[in-house]
Amino acid sequence: MTLIIKIGGGEGISLSPILTELATLIRAEPALRVVLVHGGSHETNILSEKLGHPPRTITSPSGHTSRRTDRETLDIFTMVYCGRVNKSIVEHLQREGVNAVGLSGIDSAIWRGTRKSAIRAIEQGRTVIIRDDLSGTVDRVDADFLNLLLDTGRVPVLTPPAITDDGIAINVDADRAAARTAAALEADELLLLSNVPGVLRDPRDPGSLISRVDATTIESARAAAAGRMKNKVLAAEEAMQGIGGRPVPRVIIGSANGERPIASARAGAGTHFVGGALPAGVA
């Protein structure tokens, strides 16, 4: 059984309970193969402000948002994601008896990606082209290397950035990187856990959860997802389609909060994507 869990780095997520739950799960089921992927967006925003380089957002013409990643932003991003957040997760898991190993996508080129050479963005109502952004998408995952770690009982804890073929570190979306990782490892389950209960029909109403997404309801989930939820729905679809590997049979977007978020999601909480490969979505 291979389980990929992505924990968000948004505001309001407390990592400690979920790491304790994960450690308990692994101790009870040592044959479980787990890869943990994490973000760090909220802490990056805080450090960016402190360092006098406030975060900026790029909004694409289709409404996707992403972090504007110039060189200085990438440096701050790396400090937070690969440093503070990654190492505090590894420290916590080690303290609970789990042999976690923290790596970024550039280590051993686990996540190979392509940099976006020209990004169309909307700025003050006008479309502009940004050419110096250090962001992109993951194309290939080094499953052999991750399997080496998993085969020896390690729990890889992975975080952006990824690396291009010519050796440039790029900021990539951690949800979509987790989806690629799940497909490449032929995982049984992908859990994308964040600060909301799942995909909501109305983002301001936590009671409006879409609990099940299949081929007939995917359009409404895509339409409901705004801002950063768009990437999660896209990631879920990519995992279901098995891009870069095998379709992941069980994909859940759920809450990282609560006492036992992993068990809750697996028991039915959150948004469950079902029904095999879904029709291609909008990137």
Q: Which residues bind ligand ADP (CB under 6 A)?
A: 8-10, 13, 39, 41, 194-196, 199-200, 203, 224-229
Closer residue to ligand ADP in complex, CB, 227/276: 227
* Six token digits for residue 51: 């360092």
Nearest distance in Å: CB 208, ligand ADP: 8
- Which residues, in sequence order, are bridge partners of residue 16? none
Nearest distance in Å: CB 69, ligand ADP: 15
Q: How far is CA 64 from CA 178, 193, 227, 229, in A?
A: 18, 20, 6, 9
Closer residue to ligand ADP in complex, CB, 27/201: 201
* Six token digits for residue 99: 């042999």
Nearest distance in Å: CB 50, ligand ADP: 19
- Which residues, in sequence order, are bridge partners of residue 273? 213, 251
Nearest distance in Å: CB 277, ligand ADP: 23
Nearest distance in Å: CB 148, ligand ADP: 28
d(CA 154, CA 19): 15
Nearest distance in Å: CB 143, ligand ADP: 23
Nearest distance in Å: CB 174, ligand ADP: 7
Closer residue to ligand ADP in complex, CB, 147/208: 208
Closer residue to ligand ADP in complex, CB, 108/195: 195
Closer residue to ligand ADP in complex, CB, 144/205: 205
Nearest distance in Å: CB 27, ligand ADP: 26
Closer residue to ligand ADP in complex, CB, 228/266: 228
Q: How far is CA 132 from CA 52, 123, 129, 158, in A?
A: 20, 16, 10, 25
Residue nearest to ligand ADP (CB): 8
d(CA 236, CA 242): 10
Residue-wise DSSP of 42-110: HHHHHHHHHTT----EEE-TTS-EEE---HHHHHHHHIIIIIIIHHHHHHHHHHTT--EEEEETTGGG-
Q: How far is CA 124 from CA 58, 59, 117, 158, in A?
A: 11, 10, 22, 36
Q: How many CB atoms lie within 10 A of CB 280?
A: 9
Helix (H) or strand (E) holding 271: strand 271-273
d(CA 108, CA 188): 24
Closer residue to ligand ADP in complex, CB, 170/200: 200
Closer residue to ligand ADP in complex, CB, 154/228: 228
Phi, psi of 70 (to 5 degrees): -85, 180
